[in-house]
């Protein structure tokens, strides 16, 4: 996988899936609408950062 842009479509599940999928990408994954995670897991991106699993995610 090479990376790219993912539209979160105001859906927290799509945003989280795109972030996790970025772990397999060589290039960054840019997620638009990433604020949708606040519906179910407001600290999602903070927790990814703490686990050092946010390297290819751009929001």
Q: What is the pTM of this model?
A: 0.89
pLDDT of 19-34, one tens digit each?
999 999 999 999 999 9
pLDDT of residue 31: 97
Round to the nearest angstrom and report the end-to-end CA distance of the chain. Answer: 19
pLDDT of residue 54: 85
Residue 50: pLDDT above 80? yes
Residue 52 falls in which region: left (phi positive, over 0), alpha (psi -120 to 50) or beta: left
């Amino acid at each position: 996988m090479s990376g790219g842009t993912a539209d979160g479509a105001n859906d927290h599940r799509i945003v989280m899936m795109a972030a996790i999928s970025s772990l397999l990408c060589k290039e960054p994954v840019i997620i638009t609408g990433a604020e949708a995670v606040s519906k179910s897991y407001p600290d999602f991106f903070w927790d990814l950062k703490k686990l050092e699993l946010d390297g290819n995610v751009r929001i």
